Structure 1
Amino acid sequence: MVATHAVVSGLFVTLNDLRAAQDDMRGAISETHRDQARAAIVFTAAGIDACLRTLLRDSLLLAEGPAHGAFVSHFMSERLKDKVTEATKKAVVDIDPRAALIDLYVKDLTDSSIQGSEDLAKCRNALGLKKDPVLDDSILESHQPFFDARHQVVHELDLVDPSGKGTRGRRHRDIAAVGEQCDGALHLLHAFIAPTARAAKQAQRDMGWSES
């Protein structure tokens, strides 16, 4: 998360520097400047993907705690029900079965990337944070526009069909709005990290592990 924040902050610093170098800062913002904002969306989303995957894996290093219960429930109801897939069989006989099963679990929850509020809810529930008011469904849903923007930038290059004659245009990106979206997404990520860290420490204490 720290690295993501540093990269995204650096993009906005560069954007501000480019704007300051203009002869007239009151002039229209160029597509080059807006591309900095688009890059900020992509980097922020990538940081969320990486951080949540790491958080899910780290939360399962301990065989106790709320995350472990969700892990067991998922395999009993999904991967170990009816016909067992080849991927599951290979994980079970792996030299480190738990690590291999955790990798499958994280893949099931996040797929190729976090696409929006539904995936965020899956991660929240997997971490045992379903009742956390800061991660309420309505709060997660309020961040859907950010993920929609990431999809538009990455998969569509922000291109839109013109309403009349002409070539395809690009979606307008309000730089201030993008900054607020990225900032909000990073604050949301902190809401996942803080309680998960507390739960891990409590599980360690319950198991008699020293925090040192």
Structure 2
Amino acid sequence: MIRLKSAAESDPRGRLSHDQTDQLRAAIVFTSAGLDACLRRLLKDALPTLVNGNNAADGKFKQFINDQLNEKASKPFRAALVDLDPRVKLIDIYVETLTGSSLQGHKDLQKVRDALGVPKLDISDAALEGLSPFFAARNEIAHELDLVDPSGRGNSSRRGRTMTAVRDQCDEVLLQVKSFAVNVAKQVKVAKKATP
């Protein structure tokens, strides 16, 4: 019978200490914060240009406006309509709606991609769905302190994290951030050429 070695047995360094495992958790949380910050900045910087020169981005923006008008419009939305520069204020509200307090999963990233007018051929649904384990880990850490049973009494056992898994997940997220930046830059160049 073949016995598979555990992660601790196959790693010559042995089992990770609590501090090292906490550093892995911090890597996930900081990578998530970096993803949020970068995509929020891309939205704020690129959307004003894209909604004026990219048909896909303009269509998503108009859909957002129509959705707001069909529902009971929020107080910030109503205030934006009477502002001296309503379009700028409406785009700010749109960015807030897209990102919320943080991006929680691949569906949020798909909404951001679509809002930015990035084609699915450049950033596929499958690539973004591949980030689901990262978001699951981030949510376990942020909402449950990574406890195996957060509702249990007196049991402080936490989920194990391996360096390889965390590195791979964080690397994949950072590669997607790069992909967003590269593709949005392309879309902005095209939009600027299309805008008179």
TM-score, structure 2 length as denominator? 0.84
Contact 1:59 1:67 in 2 (8 A): no
2:133 pairs with one of 145, 165, 179: 145
Cα distance, 1:142–1:82 mapped onto 2, change above 3 Å: closer
Instruction: Give the Cα–Cα distance (whole angstroms) in 1 for the partners of residues 93 and 191 of structure 2.
Output: 23
Percentage of pairs with the same residue: 46
Query: Counterpart of 2:48 in 1: which secondary structure?
Result: coil
Instruction: Give the Cα–Cα distance (whole angstroms) in 1 for the partners of residues 149 and 59 of structure 2.
Output: 47
Query: Which residue pairs with 1:207 in the alignment?
Result: 195
2:176 pairs with one of 172, 184, 188: 188
Q: For structure 1, list consecutive stretches of 5 or more residues without a partner in the other structure.
A: 1-24
Tell which deviates more after alignment, 110-119 or 198-207.
Answer: 198-207
Query: Which residue pairs with 2:186 in the alignment?
Result: 198
Q: Which has the higher contact order (CA 8 A, sep 6+)?
A: 2
2:72 pairs with one of 68, 72, 83: 83
1:111-156 deviations in whole A, cap 9, x for unaligned?
Answer: 2111111111111111112x33242222211111101111111111
Contact 1:53 1:106 in 2 (8 A): yes
Cα distance, 1:165–1:75 mapped onto 2, change above 3 Å: closer
Instruction: Give the Cα–Cα distance (whole angstroms) in 1 for the partners of residues 74 and 45 of structure 2.
Output: 25
Q: Which amino acid aligns with 2:28?
A: I
Instruction: Give the Cα–Cα distance (whole angstroms) in 2 for the partners of residues 193 and 39 of structure 1.
Output: 24
Query: Which residue pairs with 1:29 in the alignment?
Result: 16
Matches within 5 A, 1:90-109: 90-109=79-98
Query: Which residue pairs with 2:47 in the alignment?
Result: 60
1:144-203 deviations in whole A, cap 9, x for unaligned?
Answer: 1101111111111111129x9962201100111100100010001111111110111112
1:111 pairs with one of 77, 100, 103: 100
Q: For structure 2, list consecutive stretches of 5 or more residues without a partner in the other structure.
A: 1-11
Matches within 5 A, 1:104-183: 104-129=93-118, 131-161=119-149, 167-183=155-171
Q: Which amino acid aligns with 2:145?
A: L
Measure how far apart 1:81 and its partner are: 1.6
Cα distance, 1:38–1:93 mapped onto 2, change above 3 Å: same
Instruction: Give the Cα–Cα distance (whole angstroms) in 2 for the partners of residues 100 and 80 of structure 1.
Output: 15
Q: Which amino acid aligns with 1:126?
A: A
Instruction: Give the Cα–Cα distance (whole angstroms) in 1 for the partners of residues 65 and 88 of structure 2.
Output: 14
Query: Which residue pairs with 2:26 in the alignment?
Result: 39
What is the root-mean-square deviation in Å for CA atoms of aligned residues? 2.1
Query: Counterpart of 2:70 in 1: which secondary structure?
Result: coil
